[in-house]
A = this chain, B = another copy of it.
Amino acid sequence: MQQTFSTEQGLAVPVHDLPLLDRVRALILGGDFPPGAPVSEVFLSQEFDVSRTPIREALKQLQHEGLVEIRPKVGTFVREPTRREIVELFQLKESFEGLAAGLLARRGPVREIAVLERNLEESDEAAAAGDAERYAALVHEFHQTIILGADNNKLAEHYGRLMNQLAYHRLVLRTAGHPGRIIASTSEHRTVLEMIKDKDHFGAEAAMRNHVYASSREVLTDSRTRND
């Protein structure tokens, strides 16, 4: 198998061009480039002290990820998902995570169950301590554990791409640890875990889909989300 490296979103990409790709991504997501802003190859090549060739390759990847739009013979521009795209992506996320939860439940895993149980304990602690950041990290870990535990590399791959696209929406990140969602979220996680422990793959899938749908509603009904 090709040597891959899992980014924080779990996307498997070739290891050899990760540094530059990540740096370009980070630069664009850093906030200095508002949506629609041009991202010229020469600027990036000067910024990172490389030639245009590797920059071009990185931009093509980012285009594939949906972060930028390359208009031939014109230039590359930062692209932010519209609200409609966010809705579409969440529908996919619901489907992906539901599938993963179902597959995991069918496997009847031991290791993952222990990990998830420990995760819920720590989530309760973080919630009690009001540590929103740690809580968000644990939520992320919970979902990630289930995705990887589904034992389906292609699923993890597509899911990684999906999350990359979603991550570009800054508002999604901002509401990730929304206080109002914490109690419900942990409760839903617990339900999902119970279903997995019971090897009820049908119930696990349904529970996970409900959970993801509820989370997405939280983001999409947020007044700060633009309406385009």
Question: Is there contact, CB below 8 Å, between B91 and A152?
Answer: yes
Residues in B whose Cβ lies below 8 Å from that of A95: 95-96, 98-99
**Contacts A12-B63, A12-B64: A155 and B2 contacting too (C-beta < 8 A)?**
no
A177 within 8 A of B: no
User: How far in angstroms is the closest Cβ of chain B from A27?
Assistant: 21
Q: Does the CB pair B88–A152 fall under 8 Å?
A: yes
**Chain B residues positioned under 8 Å from A60 (CB to CB):** 57, 60-61
Tell me if A116 counts as interface (CB < 8 A to partner B).
no
The interface residues of chain B lying within 8 Å CB-to-CB of A165 are 154
Name which of A67-75, A107-115, A124-132, A138-146 contacts chain B: A67-75
Q: How far, in whole Å, are A92 and B103 apart by their CA atoms in the complex?
A: 11
- Report A1-60 residues with CB < 8 Å from chain B CB: 2, 12, 14-16, 53, 56-57, 60
Query: Within the complex, which residue of B2, B66, B92, B158 is in contact with A152, where a contact is CB–CB below 8 Å?
Result: B92
The residues of B that contact A61 with a CB separation of less than 8 Å are 60, 64
Closest beta carbon of chain B to A109's beta carbon, Å: 16
Would you call B155 and A91 a contact (CB within 8 A)? yes
Q: Is the CB of A69 within 8 A of B155?
A: no
Q: CA–CA, A103 to B103, complex, Å?
A: 22
New contact pairs (4) apart from A2-B71, A57-B60, CB-CB < 8 Å: A16-B72, A60-B61, A61-B64, A95-B95
